[in-house]
Amino acid sequence: MSAKFTGIMISCRHHAHPSLVEANELRMFSDVDYSQPDVREDVLNWGVWITKELGLAGMRIDAVKHISSAFIKDFIDHINKHCGPDFFIVGENFNHDSKALAKYMDEFDDRMYLYDIKLMYNIFDAAEGNKTDLCTIFDDSLVRLRPHRTMVSTLRHGSAFD
């Protein structure tokens, strides 16, 4: 099943990064097939259009683990070509394994940031009083592995901390 892009969430079960896929998990009922030329073209053109229309300097790509790495690379190339090489892109990959995130990040040659999920949980644990030694707050974090391309956040949409 393929469909043209109709919203902000872009995801795909069939072409997701194989080491990070969770079984049968789809986002917002989308199953976009980026191997289809018309779908690819629509999403690439949408990225340039929304960037120029809103005057964006960057964007977040939700659920990147559900999207083909090859397509994300093409998307970044297309945005950089049409909107400038300094366009900021952060991917949301909700994975506690910082080593897996660092490996995934390496596929993009420093062209995409990722959120540090492990650090987010470490901060949450400290705030709840479960981790009182702040010297260990960065243990196992993505910041330790890729400090130059890591975003730190203490909240996320749909947070399990609600």
**Amino acid code (one letter) for 124:** F
> What's the Cα-to-Cα distance from 1 to each of 10, 44, 126, rounded to whole Å?
15, 20, 45
Q: Which residues are catalytic?
A: 62, 92
> What's the Cα-to-Cα distance from 97 to each of 46, 101, 115, 118, 141, rounded to whole Å?
32, 6, 12, 7, 8
Structure tokens at 70: 């090859």
CA atoms within 13 A on the CB side of 146: 26
